[in-house]
Amino acid sequence: VQLQASGGGLVQPGGSLRLSCAASGNFISIYGMAWHRQAPGKQRELVASISGSDNTNYADSVRGRFTISRDNLKNSVSLQMNGLQPEDTAVYYCAASVRITTYNSANYWGQGTQVTVSS
């Protein structure tokens, strides 16, 4: 199973970006999906998650500015980021909990995509 993330880049404060992540490979289904981020010198933190039934959860720092969504037909998850601030600068990673076989599941990470917010 591979997760391919895209959509990072450089944006000015107050701007917007949309991250996308698609899963590929052999699996039965995807349970939860999430976005994490890691800023230089800091620990990786959960930004937003979405369950198989579309229940969402957000870090306090992004609630109201970021929106996570998923497309089950495309096995993908997206993160719409509005009102970006310099403190949002980080490498963003997508993650997914995947049902591999009837009795086995595993967690996977994408390769990370850089988001830089700067004037």
Here the contacts of 65-68 (C-beta below 8 Å, separation 24 or greater) are 68/33, 68/34, 68/35
Residue percentage of the chain with pLDDT more than 90: 98
pLDDT score at 82: 98
Interatomic CA distance for residues 18 and 31, integer angstroms: 22
CA angle at 112 for the pair 81 and 31, rounded to the nearest 5°: 80
- pLDDT digits (tens), the chain, 119 positions: 999 999 999 999 999 999 999 999 999 999 999 999 999 999 999 999 999 999 999 999 999 999 999 999 999 999 999 999 999 999 999 999 999 988 999 999 999 999 999 99
Over the chain, what is the mean pLDDT? 96
For strand 66-71 and strand 9-11, is the pairing parallel, antiparallel, or unpaired? unpaired
